[in-house]
Amino acid sequence: MSAFSAPFLPTLVRRERASLAATLLAPPVALAVATVLNLGLYLLIGRDPVAVVYAMLFEPFLSWASFSEVLLKTGPLLLIAQGLAIGFRAKVFNIGAEGQFILGAIFASAIPIWFPQATGQWIWPMMLLLGVLGGALWASITAFWRVRLNANEILVSLMLSLVAAQLLNYLLLGPWKDPNGFNFPQSVMFQYDAMVPVLIAGTRVNVSLLLTLALSIAAWLVMQKSFLGYKLQVGGLAPRAAGYAGFNEGWAIWLSLLIGGGAAGLAGAAEVAGPIGQLQRSISTGYGYAAIIVAYLGGLHPIGIIASALFMAALYIGGDNAMVSANLPIAAVRVFQGSLLLAYLIAIAFVRYRLEWHRPIYRSKP
C-alpha cells in the first residue's frame, strides 16, 4: 500500500548506484554549507565571521601546541565512533555511548581510588581493561532488554546515559569524594602508575592514541573483510535474509552493543587515566554524542571515521579558541556540530536518492 502522495511534490527515488565521486564529495559539501549557514548566524549575533572562521578552522592546525590538543581530543572521538559505526551498520542504534563512556571511567577509577598507594606498570593497562568491561556491562543492559522484550535500543541506551551521569554524581558527592578536596565533587588525583604513558614529550598525547589507531585498523578488518562483519551487515541491510541464512539477530544485537559499549568504556578509561588524571564531573564534554556525528560523517567507514574524528576534534579545539579570541558562546560550537550533521545527512540522501518530479495527476472532475 503506497502512501498518499500529494501532487506537485517530488518524490525520492533510489539511484541505480551511488557514484563514488558524489559519496566522497558529500562531506566537504556539507562542511561548506554548514560553514556558510553558521557564518550568517555569527553575523546575526554580532561577531566578526572572519575572526571566528580563522579561530575555529585554521588556528588548531597552525601551532604544534594546539595541534597536539587536537590529537588528544581525536582519541576518544575516534574510539567511540569506530565502535558505534559497527553497530550502526548492523542497524543497532546505540545512542548511549555517553553513559558507556562514564561507566568506563568509573570502572577504571576504582583501582586508583581504592588502592591509591599501589605501584607498578600493570595499573594503567588494568584500568583500561576495566574501562572496556564497564562500558560493555552498561551497554549489555540495553542489549538484554532489546533482545528480551524488543525494547527500543535508542531510548534505553539514551536514558541509561542520564542514569550513568547521576551515578557519577553520587560517587563524586559521596563515597569517592576526595577527603582533602575542599568538598569539590571530584576524586583524588591518580598516582603516577595509574596514568597512561605520554607518547610525545612536551604534550599530553599518550599511548592510548596508538591503541586507538590500532583498533581502527581492527575495525576496518572486521567490517570490510571478516565473516563477522559480513553477518552484521546482512543483518542491517536485510534482516529477513539474515534470518533465512541462519544468522542470529539476537547475537548481532549483543555483539554490536558490546563492541560499542566496550569502545566507549575504553575511551572513558583513557580520559581519566590520561589528560584528566582523576574522576570528575566534566570527564566528558559530550564525546558520546559527538561520536555519533563522527561515525556518520565518516560514512560509517573505518577509514572515513579517522578523518572525521580528526576534523571534529579540531572543531572542539577551534571552538575553544573562538570562545576566547572571538568571544563566541559555547552553544555556537554545538550549533555548528549539529548543522554539520544535518547538512551531511541531507547531502548523503541526495547521493543515494534523486528527486523525481511528477506531472500532477488530476483525479477530480473539474
Q: Do the beta carbons of residue 41 and residue 332 sit within 8 Å? A: yes
- In this chain, which of 1, 20, 44, 65 binds other proteins, going by CB under 8 A? 1
182 binds other proteins (CB under 8 A): no
CA separation for the pair 266, 133 (Å, rounded): 8
2 binds other proteins (CB under 8 A): yes
- The single residue listed with the C-alpha cell 533510489 is 14
Q: Give me the 346-365 binding string for other proteins, x by CB under 8 A, dash otherwise.
A: -------------x-xxxxx
8 binds other proteins (CB under 8 A): no
The site for other proteins, by CB under 8 A, has a size of 31
301 binds other proteins (CB under 8 A): no
- In this chain, which of 46, 120, 175, 366 binds other proteins, going by CB under 8 A? 366
- In this chain, which of 13, 50, 238, 349 binds other proteins, going by CB under 8 A? 238
**Nearest approach, Cβ of residue 89 and other proteins (Å):** 12
6 binds other proteins (CB under 8 A): no
245 binds other proteins (CB under 8 A): yes
| SS3 at position 53 | helix
CA angle 201, 207, 209 (to 5 degrees): 110
- In this chain, which of 9, 13, 50, 221 binds other proteins, going by CB under 8 A? 221
Between the two ends of the chain, the Cα-to-Cα distance in Å is 27
Q: Which is nearer to other proteins, 241 or 303 (CB)?
A: 241
Check the CA dihedral 161-166-171-172 and report its sign: positive
CA separation for the pair 138, 95 (Å, rounded): 12
Q: Do the beta carbons of residue 120 and residue 131 sit within 8 Å? A: no
* Span from 81-89, 211-219, 241-249, 270-278 in contact with other proteins (CB under 8 A): 241-249
Beta pairing partners, 42: none
Beta pairing partners, 186: 280
Q: Which ranges of 151-220 would DSSP assign to H, the alpha helix?
A: 153-173, 208-220
10 binds other proteins (CB under 8 A): no
CA separation for the pair 165, 173 (Å, rounded): 12
Q: Using CB under 8 A as the criterion, which residues of the chain lie in contact with other proteins when the complex forms?
A: 1-5, 16-17, 221, 225-228, 230-231, 233-234, 237-238, 240-241, 243-246, 359, 361-366
